[in-house]
């Protein structure tokens, strides 16, 4: 008797959201060890399986275009579980082998015809009884059946199973996958009672198996294989008699070798792997350490070789389930086991794809420019540089038409300046580096109503690479920055009423390329930056931070960050804490400022080291369950000495969840960018514009949609 101790489980239906695992779908009766096949009409056929009471002969259809429910179709000729279900070239489904609850293995096979909803017996049986085997559709329409002491080739026209020319390894609970060259890779499984590291290739041209010299790094059974866009194969998880694995391998069909790749975040066996339309691999559920069952999924990016834990979990912990990619990119997950229960539910999961959309060209390429969201919802992009040319031009982006248009010119060409939206709707442009003056004291105001700039009072001190923060009383504090090649500690305040600048207390440490955040109590936190002159190469960031009190005009040191940072980002959360992320020449671990303690705690680690990036708090409700998480967009990474240690622009984007303090990969921009801008628009989209790509200054922009 097979050791299945199952109890039927009735689940309640919950509401559906496109960003979450969807509502439960009643699966009656509960089942595991069943098979699932996507039909040519877009429906999913579930056949057979086992539960606590019996071996099942029932079959169900799921129609994603219908009401999202399962309906009965014709019954199997023979009840069975642990069988295979293969879509043939003529649209029918071939079901082979399997077993019954009492352990009896089956030799029989049958067809399912979607046009009639009827199962019929295949004329001839397999050469041996099989269970926990594999069935692979070959390019010529035959089906390769592997498992047990022999292998069969099924001919649809004659309904016959013929033993292959030579005998493969006697294995079960293995994995098989069709490669791009038409051969089939078979890996792992149990040989006798032990999981194996061996693999072999079946060649349909000769009908023979060839054992590979290369072995997998880990013995595996009940693992998964997925074909990647470049033709290599991802092998994930599995079991070898002690506990499930999180180790993964990549098989290269050109060299016929296995090589380790990044491990999954969770140990898994009896999981499922689905290729998503964008080329990633979604791994779903499975059995984990200490015989636990997972509701947590994760996704593998074949470009970065990074595993990202999906932010939403399934409604059920599942192992031994089926997972079928639907035509709309969603995944239909059905049945399985959790603990001693077979599962009486199915659900839809929707892997996040996060598409970046091109907006074409800005009016001119820009680097080290500023972006300001104006009260009417348009975005002002001002100044910057195009290679060695300093820009005095400006333009606005209209999200209603997704278009850029030139606006009035700045009075002074400049880059590395600041732009601050004032309470009256005007924008204060301050300082920066100019082709005419070098680091400048010049300041000007942009009026959205006239689409023009006019000069305002000059700053007291020349500066660029500084910060500007709008205070609660409507004034603006400009902090530190560079004068020539050296950083300064001087600060000053702009009063929009008088349009004059007033010196305030100097910082305790000179700095440039730092970051500032207005805290909820009205004080200003400044952290990090480069405290040394340009004569010091490399110019490491400082861990030093301090706060400015507008009531006293004085700076007070706080505890240091755990790492020195420069060209990093600072993000204020609704709870008043501040995330300090990234920077040059430091580990990728982030710091979180705790204002009540005036100290920093360790945050999560970025997926990828980066500086010169942009961090955007997803404060718009359009982001749904991702609201108040942080997008980390682009930036640069320092290249190896082989490439001269240059800063290389990044296209990758990641997201930070403050609840878990974890970063995960979010997607990739169309264009790599550093020194770019990113603006959260009123409709929830994010406008990403300009910067330096690979290697030229970019004149393009793009958006990402919630």
Ordered DSSP codes for 375-444:
TTS-EEEE--EETTEE---EEEEETTTTEEEEEPPPSS--BS-EEEE-TTS-EEEE--EETTTEEB--EE
The token pair at 201 is 């290739």
User: In terms of Cα–Cα distance, which of 245, 224, 220 is closest to 235?
Assistant: 224
Average pLDDT over residues 268-288: 91
Q: Residue 643 pLDDT more than 50?
A: no
Average pLDDT over residues 664-688: 91
Each residue of 484-495: pLDDT tens digit? 878 999 999 999
Each residue of 432-472: pLDDT tens digit? 999 888 999 999 999 999 999 999 999 999 999 999 999 99
Q: Residue 535 pLDDT more than 90?
A: no
Residue with tokens 């209209």: 398
CA distances to 60, 364, 440, 630 from 106, rounded to whole Å, are: 21, 70, 84, 54
pLDDT for 138: 98
pLDDT for 554: 98
Each residue of 29-79: pLDDT tens digit? 889 999 999 999 999 999 999 987 899 999 999 998 766 679 999 999 999
pLDDT for 534: 62
Cβ atoms of 329 and 36 within 8 Å: the answer is no
pLDDT for 11: 25
Q: What pTM does this model have?
A: 0.61
Give the Cα separation of 405 and 560 in Å (integer). 44
Each residue of 314-364: pLDDT tens digit? 888 999 999 998 877 789 999 998 877 788 888 888 776 666 888 888 999
Each residue of 550-575: pLDDT tens digit? 999 999 999 999 999 999 999 999 99
Q: Residue 705 pLDDT more than 90?
A: no
Residue 508: φ, ψ to 5°: -75, -20
Kindly report the CA angle at 167 between 164 and 172, in degrees rounded to 5? 105
Q: Residue 642 pLDDT more than 80?
A: no
Q: Residue 19 pLDDT more than 50?
A: no
Give 9-48 as a 3 state SS string: CCCCCCCCCCCCCCCCEECCCCCECCEEEECCCCCEEEEC
Is the N-terminal amide bond of 483 cis, ω within 30° of 0?
no
The token pair at 89 is 């070239």
Give the Cα separation of 113 and 210 in Å (integer). 35
- What are the chain's domains? 31-164 (2.120.10.80)
Give the Cα separation of 357 and 334 in Å (integer). 34
Instruction: Please tell me the number of Cα atoms within 13 Å of 64 on its side-chain side.
Output: 23
Give the Cα separation of 512 and 522 in Å (integer). 22
User: How many DSSP H helices and E strands does the chain contain?
Assistant: 0, 65
Each residue of 614-640: pLDDT tens digit? 999 999 988 877 899 999 999 998 754
Cβ atoms of 7 and 53 within 8 Å: the answer is no
Instruction: Please tell me the number of Cα atoms within 13 Å of 247 on its side-chain side.
Output: 16
Each residue of 585-611: pLDDT tens digit? 666 789 999 999 999 999 988 988 899
Residue with tokens 């998503």: 276
Give the Cα separation of 270 and 657 in Å (integer). 29
Residue with tokens 């929009």: 496
Give kind and range of the element (H or E) at residue 468.
strand 467-470
Give the Cα separation of 541 and 441 in Å (integer). 25
pLDDT for 353: 61
Mean pLDDT of the chain, nearest integer = 90
Each residue of 109-165: pLDDT tens digit? 999 999 999 999 999 999 999 999 999 999 999 999 999 999 999 999 999 999 999
Among the ranges given (160-174, 266-280, 627-641), the one the predictor scored with the smallest mean pLDDT: 627-641
Among the ranges given (13-22, 254-263, 323-332, 470-479), the one the predictor scored with the smallest mean pLDDT: 13-22
pLDDT for 312: 73
Question: In DSSP terms, which residues pair with 570 in a beta bridge?
Answer: 580
**Predicted confidence band at 537 (pLDDT cuts at 50, 70, 90)?**
low
Give the Cα separation of 659 and 316 in Å (integer). 22
């Amino acid at each position: 008797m097979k050791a299945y101790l199952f109890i039927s489980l009735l689940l309640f239906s919950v509401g559906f959201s496109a960003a979450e695992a969807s509502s439960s779908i009643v699966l009656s009766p509960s089942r595991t060890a069943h098979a699932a096949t996507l039909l040519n009409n877009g429906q999913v056929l579930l056949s057979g399986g086992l539960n606590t009471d019996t071996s099942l002969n029932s079959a169900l259809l799921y129609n994603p275009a219908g009401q999202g429910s399962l309906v009965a179709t014709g019954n199997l000729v023979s009840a069975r579980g642990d069988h295979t279900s293969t879509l043939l070239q003529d649209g029918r489904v071939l079901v082979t082998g399997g077993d019954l609850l009492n352990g009896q293995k089956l030799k029989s096979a049958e067809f399912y015809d979607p046009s009639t909803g009827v199962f019929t017996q295949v004329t001839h049986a397999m050469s041996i009884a099989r269970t926990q085997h594999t069935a692979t559709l070959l390019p010529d329409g035959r089906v390769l059946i592997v498992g047990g002491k022999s292998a069969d080739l099924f001919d649809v026209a004659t309904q016959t199973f013929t033993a292959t020319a030579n005998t493969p390894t006697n294995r079960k609970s293995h994995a098989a996958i069709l490669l791009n060259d038409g051969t089939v890779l078979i890996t792992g499984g149990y040989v006798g009672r032990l999981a194996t590291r061996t693999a072999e290739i079946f060649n349909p041209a000769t009908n023979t198996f060839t054992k590979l010299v290369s072995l997998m790094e880990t013995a595996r059974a009940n693992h998964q294989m997925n074909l990647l866009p470049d033709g290599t194969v991802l092998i994930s998880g599995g079991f070898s008699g002690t506990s499930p694995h999180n180790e993964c391998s990549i098989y290269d069909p050109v060299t016929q070798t296995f090589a380790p790749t990044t491990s999954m975040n969770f140990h898994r066996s009896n999981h499922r792997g689905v290729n998503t339309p964008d080329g990633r691999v979604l791994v779903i559920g499975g059995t984990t350490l200490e015989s636990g069952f997972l509701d947590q999924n994760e996704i593998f990016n074949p470009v970065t070789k990074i595993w990202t834990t999906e932010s939403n979990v399934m409604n059920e912990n599942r192992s031994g389930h089926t997972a079928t990619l639907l035509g709309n990119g969603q995944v239909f997950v059905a049945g399985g086991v959790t603990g001693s229960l077979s599962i009486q539910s199915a659900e839809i999961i929707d892997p996040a794809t996060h598409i970046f959309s091109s907006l074409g060209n800005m009016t001119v390429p820009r680097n080290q420019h500023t972006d300001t969201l104006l009260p009417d919802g348009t975005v002002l992009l001002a100044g910057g540089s195009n290679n060695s040319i300093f820009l005095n031009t400006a333009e606005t982006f209209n999200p209603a038409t997704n278009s850029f248009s030139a606006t009035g010119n700045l009075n002074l060409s400049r880059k590395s300046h600041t732009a601050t939206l004032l309470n009256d709707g005007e924008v204060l442009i301050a300082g920066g580096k100019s082709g005419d003056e070098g680091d400048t004291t010049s300041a000007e105001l942009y009026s959205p109503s006239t689409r023009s700039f006019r000069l305002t009072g000059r700053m007291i001190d020349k500066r660029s690479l500084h910060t500007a923060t709008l205070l609660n009383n409507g004034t603006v504090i400009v902090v530190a920055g560079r004068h020539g090649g050296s950083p300064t500690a001087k600060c000053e305040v702009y009063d929009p009423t008088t349009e004059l600048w007033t010196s305030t207390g100097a910082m305790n440490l000179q700095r440039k390329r730092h970051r500032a955040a207005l805290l909820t109590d009205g004080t200003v936190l400044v952290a990090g930056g480069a405290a040394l002159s340009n004569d010091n190469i490399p110019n490491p960031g400082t861990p030093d931070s301090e706060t400015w009190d507008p009531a006293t005009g004085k700076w007070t040191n706080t505890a240091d960050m755990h790492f020195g940072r420069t060209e990093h980002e600072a993000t204020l959360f609704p709870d008043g804490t501040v995330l300090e992320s990234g920077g040059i020449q430091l580990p990728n671990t982030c710091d979180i400022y705790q204002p009540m303690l005036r100290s920093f705690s360790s945050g999560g680690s970025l997926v990828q080291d980066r500086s010169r990036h942009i961090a955007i708090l997803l404060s718009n409700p359009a982001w749904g369950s991702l609201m108040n998480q942080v997008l980390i967009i682009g930036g640069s990474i320092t290249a190896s000495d082989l490439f001269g240690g240059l800063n290389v622009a990044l296209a990758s984007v990641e997201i930070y969840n403050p609840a878990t303090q974890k970063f995960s990969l979010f997607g990739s921009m169309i264009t790599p960018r550093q020194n770019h801008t990113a603006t959260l628009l009123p409709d929830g989209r994010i406008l990403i514009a300009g910067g330096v790509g690979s290697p030229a200054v970019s004149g393009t922009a793009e958006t990402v949609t919630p």
